């Protein structure tokens, strides 16, 4: 009985956390497609209208960072694993902090992920990367450049290991 109560309580807390994520995304005017599943471990640091995910995609525990000048766009039927980092913004390396009280200078470029993309656990996707359709990215890879359609990439930095 105790195990069942623990299961029910855990399920309720997970559901409530997911509901809070969806509510935050609606407030930020993110476009969430039909049948999208967002895991309770997802983290979103986004600005208004800077995030879009297509129909029937799921994100298990991704960390998404986007801004008005650097959007994140995820296509239809994508599978994104745990601890995946998709950050379209970054600190500019050519700008130093002029004084202690000023914020760092930020920059970035759009990240676009095509349709039917499978991204394994622990992947990092660098700002400005475009990933084509029907792509697989192996776990713990670091994607630093564009990936064309129908390829399988893995490694640090991610390199083609096989045609799809």
List of residues 6+ apart from 98 with CB closer than 8 A: none
Beta strands in 54-105 (DSSP E): 58-65, 72-74, 79-87, 89-91
Q: Has 31 been annotated as catalytic?
A: no
> Is 147 in a helix, a strand, or coil?
strand
User: What number of other Cβ atoms are within 10 A of residue 11's Cβ?
Assistant: 10
The residue from 24, 29, 91, 145 that is catalytic is 91
Q: 3-state class of 33 per DSSP?
A: coil
Residues with catalytic roles: 91
């Amino acid at each position: 009985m105790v195990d069942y109560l623990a299961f029910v309580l855990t399920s309720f807390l997970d559901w409530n956390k997911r509901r809070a994520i969806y509510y935050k995304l609606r407030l930020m005017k993110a476009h969430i497609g039909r049948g999208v599943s967002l895991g309770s471990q997802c983290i979103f640091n986004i600005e208004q209208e800077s995030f879009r995910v297509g129909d029937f995609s799921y994100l298990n525990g991704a960390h998404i960072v986007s801004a008005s000048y650097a959007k994140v766009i995820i296509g239809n039927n994508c599978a994104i694993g745990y601890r995946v980092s998709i950050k379209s913004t970054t600190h500019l390396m050519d700008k130093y902090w002029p004084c202690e009280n000023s914020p760092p200078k930020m920059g970035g470029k759009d990240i676009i992920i095509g349709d039917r993309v499978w991204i394994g656990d622990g992947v990092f996707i660098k700002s400005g990367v475009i990933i084509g359709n029907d792509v697989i990215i192996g776990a713990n890879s670091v994607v630093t450049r564009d990936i064309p359609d129908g390829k399988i990439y893995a490694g640090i930095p991610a390199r083609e290991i096989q045609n799809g």
